[in-house]
């Protein structure tokens, strides 16, 4: 079987949505790609549904948001649909690679500090000294916040 491959560069039209399934997590993203083709002098925009799964989905969900410019490569397929008695074709991509081309959602600094703290405790729990612990916690606090 020959799969159709596609590569697009576009922007997320809204925040990705995570759904639980029987086979793991699914992350659905909508990507708008403005084409060079014009209709009545207006550039045509194509919209693609991109569906990532499981660990890939979980990693992307924490990093992508509405407006993020993305590079997507994957398997391409279409679906015939009807909405409000009007037939249309849905463009879908099962991604093999997704890369953000501009700023992504920042990592939650409190969460990152918490994970570092847990790592510190797990490594040093045998000889934990309260002064070392206090110094470590203070090194993770930004006094300007």
The larger pLDDT score, comparing residue 128 to residue 15, is at 15
pLDDT of residue 118 exceeding 80, the answer is no
CB-count burial class (<10 Å; 0-12, 13-18, 19+) for 74: buried
Q: Region 35-54: what's the mean pLDDT?
A: 90
Within a domain: 121? yes
Print the domain residue range for 115.
109-139
The larger pLDDT score, comparing residue 1 to residue 72, is at 72
pLDDT of residue 51 exceeding 70, the answer is yes
Same domain, 94 and 128: no
Tell me which residue has tokens 């410019």: 69
Q: Region 33-41: what's the mean pLDDT?
A: 90
Q: Report percent pLDDT > 90 for the chain.
A: 29
> How far is 107 from 139, CA to CA, in rounded Å?
18
Same domain, 91 and 129: no
Residue 8: band (very low, low, confident or very high) from pLDDT cuts 50, 70, 90: very high
Q: Identify the pLDDT of residue 126.
A: 47
Same domain, 82 and 120: no
Residue 24: band (very low, low, confident or very high) from pLDDT cuts 50, 70, 90: confident
Mean pLDDT of the chain: 79
Q: Report percent pLDDT > 70 for the chain.
A: 69
DSSP code string of 103-116: PPPPP-HHHHHHHH
| Cα distances (Å, whole numbers) of residue 5 to 14, 74, 79 | 24, 6, 16
If one counts the domains in the chain, the total is: 2
First to last CA, the chain: 56
Q: pLDDT by residue (tens digit) across 79-117?
A: 898 989 998 888 999 998 888 887 655 444 455 555 555
The larger pLDDT score, comparing residue 72 to residue 144, is at 72
Within a domain: 144? no
- CATH number of the structural domain spanning residue 81: 2.40.50.140
CB-count burial class (<10 Å; 0-12, 13-18, 19+) for 31: buried
């Amino acid at each position: 079987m020959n799969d159709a491959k596609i590569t697009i560069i576009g922007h997320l039209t809204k925040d990705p949505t995570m759904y639980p399934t029987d086979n793991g997590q699914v992350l659905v993203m909508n990507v708008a790609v403005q084409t060079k083709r014009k209709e009545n002098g207006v550039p045509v925009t194509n919209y693609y549904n991109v569906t990532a799964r499981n660990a890939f989905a979980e990693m992307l969900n924490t990093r992508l948001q509405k407006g993020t410019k993305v590079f997507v490569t994957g398997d391409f397929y279409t679906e015939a649909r009807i909405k409000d008695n009007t037939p249309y074709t849905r463009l879908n991509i099962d991604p093999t690679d997704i890369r953000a081309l501009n700023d992504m959602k920042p990592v939650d600094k409190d969460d990152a500090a918490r994970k570092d703290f847990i790592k510190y405790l797990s490594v040093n729990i045998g000889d934990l000294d309260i002064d070392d612990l206090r110094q470590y916690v203070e090194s993770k606090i930004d006094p300007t916040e």
